[in-house]
Structure 1
Amino acid sequence: MKINSISHICCIGAGYVGGPTMSVIADRCPDIEVTVIDINKDRIDAWNEKDLRKIPVYEPGLDEVLKRARGRNLFFSTAIEASIAKADIVFISVNTPIKSKGVGAGQASDIRWVEASARQVAKYAKGKTIVVEKSTLPVRTAAAIKSILETPNKNISEDESCQRFSVLSNPEFLAEGTAIKDLEEPDRVLIGGDDSSAIEALKSIYLRWVPKEQILCTNLWSSELSKLISNAFLAQRISSINAVSALCEVTGADVREVSKAIGADHRIGKKFLEAGPGFGGSCFKKDILNLVYLCNHFGLPEVASYWEQVIELNAWQQQRIYRTILHKLFGTVNGKKLAILGFAFKADTNDTRESPSLRIALDLLEEGALLSIHDPKVSEDKIFEDLNRNEAAWEGKWSYVKTISEAVIEADAVLILTDWKEYAELDWFDLAKKMRAPAWVFDTRSIVEPSQIKSAGLNFWRVGDGVN
């Protein structure tokens, strides 16, 4: 394959990474046909919805990209065989959850879908094909993919079979809520591999809009490991500042002031120093658990223990917030109505995977609370799916509400668990009239003005505030 000869791209997996990533590539490369395939017909149908409000992934700016590219050179399809056969490059962007059974259960990544995708590529690809790891994978997964791809195909001569595939690692570094901006203006694009012509071919695509100096090339193993380490470092900062928030509360300090002071040091920087209810989403916990597993596997238990503490601290922060709510409400929430504002793990996404809201809600339901849940982008069906999947012997009940006003009627407390912009702009004087006194506001995201809450006659707690 010659550089700049790419005419067809196929992506296996139409999820939070595959859909947005291929949409931006298609938008920036109108001469290249990009097809996203998935075995889930309902998901593909949702991506093809005329009403862009119904597409399966909410990301600011994604609808505008789809308007330009979909139907022009961007397609979503279940035609797996034909799409792979036509492709010059195949991206593998499938789910890699933590194993629930067997060796490595609870820590190691389950790469069954990656293996299945590699087998599909081996079976259907025609001619020279570049296979790109886009999913977050354990180090040296590329070796497994190579082994599958290089297995002789009975319909192809052995010489041709060994020359057909090049495997590259091109991990995503997207933050949900800013994924389109991250794709259009990336800090870096990382490409790992040992086939220089394949690397140049993939690099030529990104060069359409990414400055050359921001495209980093490494070997395969460095690229795979860099993704895990990047997420581990970010999660570590969140757990660190959350540990500091607890110390601030008992010493009279304010974590926001501490964060500003230490973030002013250019060696540290100010990003990811906002205390809150802990990290969520599909990547941080999963990637650190996988890192822990790898460290133990390679005989580095001390390193594994270090990273495991990041996860334990994250869970502790959510439990600490739940216990604080319980304590402030006279030691019990049984039969009390609590309004939960925000169910997504962060603002500007409809993703609820590993959401702190879910963990805190489950603990409150176990205590017998009556939860009234609002989120501007997470559907009632999704909330039901998440809570029902984790249901135990609850004493409490929950309901989904479409308005914040409805959520707070006769509520004993409001819990702000997701940093949606609209939650920072509420009329607390009006909301306070609807609540049952003495009512509380628990701000786990530090997005409301304390003086407004107190002026409205409400009790107030926020994370990391020593005057609580």
Structure 2
Amino acid sequence: MKNKFIKNICCIGAGYVGGPTMSVIAFNCPELRVDVVDINKERIEAWNSEDFSKLPIFEPGLEDIIKKCRGVNLFFSNNVEESISKADIIFISVNTPTKKKGIGAGFASDLKWVESSARQIAKFARNHTVVVEKSTLPVKTAETIKSILNSSEQNEGINKMNIQNNQKSFSIVSNPEFLAEGTAINDLQKPDRVLIGGEDHYSIDLISDIYQNWVDKEKIITTNLWSSELSKLVSNAFLAQRISSINSISAICEATGANINEVAKAIGTDTRIGSKFLQPGPGFGGSCFKKDILNLVYLCKFYGLNEVADYWEQVVDINQWQQNRISSLVIRNLFGTLSNKKLAVYGFSFKANTNDTRESPSINVSINLLQEGAKLSFYDPKVSEKQILSEFENNINEKNVLVNNTALKAAEGADAIIVLTEWEEFNHLDWEDIFKIMRKPAWVFDTRVFLDKQYLKNIGFKVWSLGT
């Protein structure tokens, strides 16, 4: 480390952001001690499990890093107060769900965990502490954090003299994550950019020094606090917009006889557009896209920018419409009724190579089908039975939901298979054996457009493929 003042890092929150991010920092900065703390005892126990297959998060490459760093300079614990008191830098990586009630319900972020973290930092931190916003937050959240920190102890200002004299003070830095689940470790090791926003150059440089252990300085972008906070929301909004855009075109392709893959390739070769995020599917999921767009909508409405708010809200509406459209197509092709019919659902995570099910398209599509009387038989290679069943606790009769250990077992006696996650293993299944054990006519609904449609037809399947 260039700066000898920094020895201990604490991260509050051991979830999908905190766990992988701190693991990569520990891996690349062996001279630093990194403590990841969380009040969830079950989650911390999972991070400390001797059986690495039981880590709470599945990400390619994460297990190898945990094996090398855990217990050396990377530690997971429930010792929140102690870790805060020892830390020079504290990352806030807690959940910021959409509010379910009160002002801004359905749009604004619920910042109760951010506020709780800030109050703990204010109470237990010692000397000068750099507080880093890692969670995705509304613009101006730093003002809230700063107000809480400064209300407990008078902040004497940010300068080297205060730090050397061990005076208690704080500075706020925004360092949003830009991870794609399924490729999070690679995204952290080889980021497109690292964004650091702050009000004093000294604190910005401290965070920059950490990343410069493995990231080229040219890829580190520095801004003011508000630009950094807004950039994260806008980045996710633009990515989600592309998904909704290509999904809207998939419906036009089906109506006109065009092929969505051919259209996506044709427009993606335009360097002004590019090919990324032009893969059609059942809609975006995960913890960020929907939440961040709705947050942006709320922000626009707060400032009276109603036309801008309406524009971005439509991105979310199209996403929901796509999932409802897929559900309707399944029902229509199965003779207009799902009563007494069994459907196999392949894939429950919101995308391949992750076990995250938050806002997964599989949830909404499945609920629609269950409400039509279907019995659903699920298979996902990384999502547990407990996790799947928890998504339907308040919606359906549990007797209509089965979770299986194999794709073959899930398809037994099924009228149709609906592929909702693009797990690569689905391309290598023995589809001939699957066809034999299904009720005829046997359907495959490929919502990810990645199976060999002609091969399945040759076996005897009736096949619907999105946008073709």
Which interval holds the TM-score relative to the shorter structure? over 0.9
After superposition, the Cα gap between the structure-2 partners of 1:157 and 1:190, relative to the gap in structure 1 and judged at 3 Å, is closer
| Deviation for aligned residue 1:162 | 8.8
Are 1:361 and 2:369 an aligned pair? no
Mapped to 1, the partners of 2:399 and 2:124 lie a distance apart of 52
In the alignment, what sits opposite 1:326?
Answer: 331
1:150-189 to 2 correspondences below 5 Å: 150-153=150-153, 164-189=169-194
In the alignment, what sits opposite 1:446?
Answer: 449
User: Residue deviations 1:252-300, cap 9 Å, x none?
Assistant: 0000000000000000000000110000000000000000000000000
Mapped to 2, the partners of 1:368 and 1:352 lie a distance apart of 23
Which of 278, 282, 288 is the aligned partner of 2:283? Answer: 278
Percentage of identical aligned residues: 60
Q: Which amino acid aligns with 1:30?
A: P
In the alignment, what sits opposite 1:316?
Answer: 321
Residue pair 1:365, 1:396 contacting (<8 A) in 2 also? no
Q: SS in structure 2 opposite 1:217?
A: strand
After superposition, the Cα gap between the structure-2 partners of 1:157 and 1:169, relative to the gap in structure 1 and judged at 3 Å, is closer
After superposition, the Cα gap between the structure-2 partners of 1:274 and 1:192, relative to the gap in structure 1 and judged at 3 Å, is same
**TM-score with structure 2 setting the length:** 0.96
User: Residue deviations 1:103-122, cap 9 Å, x none?
Assistant: 00000000011011011001
1:115-264 to 2 correspondences below 5 Å: 115-153=115-153, 164-264=169-269
In the alignment, what sits opposite 1:424?
Answer: 427
Mapped to 1, the partners of 2:398 and 2:73 lie a distance apart of 52
1:382-401 to 2 correspondences below 5 Å: 382-389=387-394, 391-392=395-396, 397-401=400-404
After superposition, the Cα gap between the structure-2 partners of 1:211 and 1:366, relative to the gap in structure 1 and judged at 3 Å, is same
| Deviation for aligned residue 1:427 | 2.1
Q: SS in structure 1 opposite 2:343?
A: strand
Residue pair 1:190, 1:216 contacting (<8 A) in 2 also? yes
Mapped to 1, the partners of 2:275 and 2:248 lie a distance apart of 16
Residue pair 2:128, 2:167 contacting (<8 A) in 1 also? no
In the alignment, what sits opposite 2:460?
Answer: 457
Q: Which amino acid aligns with 2:89?
A: I
The number of equivalent residue pairs is 461
Q: SS in structure 2 opposite 1:418?
A: coil
| Deviation for aligned residue 1:4 | 4.4
Mapped to 2, the partners of 1:447 and 1:265 lie a distance apart of 23
Gap runs ≥5 in structure 1: none
**TM-score with structure 1 setting the length:** 0.96
| Moved segments of 4+, more than 2 Å | 1-5, 156-163
Residue pair 2:155, 2:170 contacting (<8 A) in 1 also? no
Mapped to 2, the partners of 1:165 and 1:70 lie a distance apart of 29
User: Residue deviations 1:419-447, cap 9 Å, x none?
Assistant: 00101112222211111111100000111
Q: Which amino acid aligns with 1:20?
A: P
After superposition, the Cα gap between the structure-2 partners of 1:395 and 1:171, relative to the gap in structure 1 and judged at 3 Å, is closer
Q: Which amino acid aligns with 1:408?
A: A
| Deviation for aligned residue 1:333 | 1.0
| Deviation for aligned residue 1:2 | 8.3
Please give the root-mean-square deviation of Cα atoms over the aligned residues, in Å. Answer: 1.6
Mapped to 2, the partners of 1:77 and 1:163 lie a distance apart of 25
Mapped to 2, the partners of 1:112 and 1:408 lie a distance apart of 43
Mapped to 2, the partners of 1:225 and 1:446 lie a distance apart of 34
Mapped to 2, the partners of 1:300 and 1:259 lie a distance apart of 32
Q: SS in structure 2 opposite 1:346?
A: coil
Mapped to 1, the partners of 2:441 and 2:100 lie a distance apart of 44
